[in-house]
A = this chain, B = another copy of it.
Amino acid sequence: MTQLHIGFLIYPGVIQLDVMAAYQVLCFPSNTETHLIGKTSEPIISNEGLTIVPTTTLENCPQLDVICVPGGGIGQVEVMKDADVLNFLKCQSSTAQYVTSVCTGSLILASAGLLEGYQATCHWAFREQLAMLGVKVICERVVIDRNRVTGAGVTSGIDLGLTLLGLLCGEDVAKMTQLMLEYDPQPPFNAGTPEAAGEEIVKSLMHAGKPLIDAFLTQTQETAAQMRFNE
């Protein structure tokens, strides 16, 4: 069986579960090898304060079968304008079987021009920003358009991972993985979408997240202007 190389970009401020959910799923089959790709080999600190140690670097990363870009907190703004990272993503994506993201990771893919003309999704609070980058935004949990596979907010990484396993290794392997992870979700509350959570919860969360949303917006507008300039 061919060994599949699956790489996750990691960077200061990455949301750790954006990585770890899909990572856990994609680690399971014996024919996958997962990589945590740092800009350098230095440990990075996630948005939550978790230390994550890269297993490879932009420079040393093998050619990947799947590249996955997770979202982050404020640290993501730097990544969206980091030429080294964007070039790495462009280069890997030219040969990868699947180019994927979780949460606001799709804003990074789009900043590299890798979602132009594609349908894709992201965390519900950043959909307008994703559209600014030339992406046809689809409000679904996991969106597949040719070899681009993008997930919604944070926890969609599990659904994205299982979807990818089904595509890469077949339905039986995906089902075995789901059973091993006992993925039989039973949220104790019904608040996983803005519609379900209701106006008050959405308002509180948007208020708390405003500095982050604004910082992302400034960068998104700059990237969009640059894209128009380059046309």
Contacts and interface: CB of A to CB of B under 8 A. Distances in A.
A124 interface: yes
A192 B184 contact: yes
B194 A179 contact: yes
Contact of A204 (B171, B174, B176, B200): B176
Interface in A175-231: 175-176, 178-189, 191-194, 196-197, 200-202, 204-205, 208-209
Interface stretch (A48-56, A109-117, A130-138): A48-56
Interface stretch (A60-68, A77-85, A93-101, A157-165): A157-165
Interface residues of A, number: 62
A124 B181 CA distance: 10
Nearest to A141: B186
19 contacts: A24-B154, A34-B48, A103-B182, A124-B182, A152-B182, A152-B184, A153-B180, A154-B181, A155-B181, A155-B184, A162-B189, A175-B191, A178-B191, A179-B191, A179-B194, A183-B187, A184-B193, A185-B185, A185-B187
Interface of A: 15-17, 20-21, 23-24, 27, 34, 36, 43, 48-53, 103, 123-124, 141-142, 152-156, 158-159, 162-163, 166, 171-172, 174-176, 178-189, 191-194, 196-197, 200-202, 204-205, 208-209
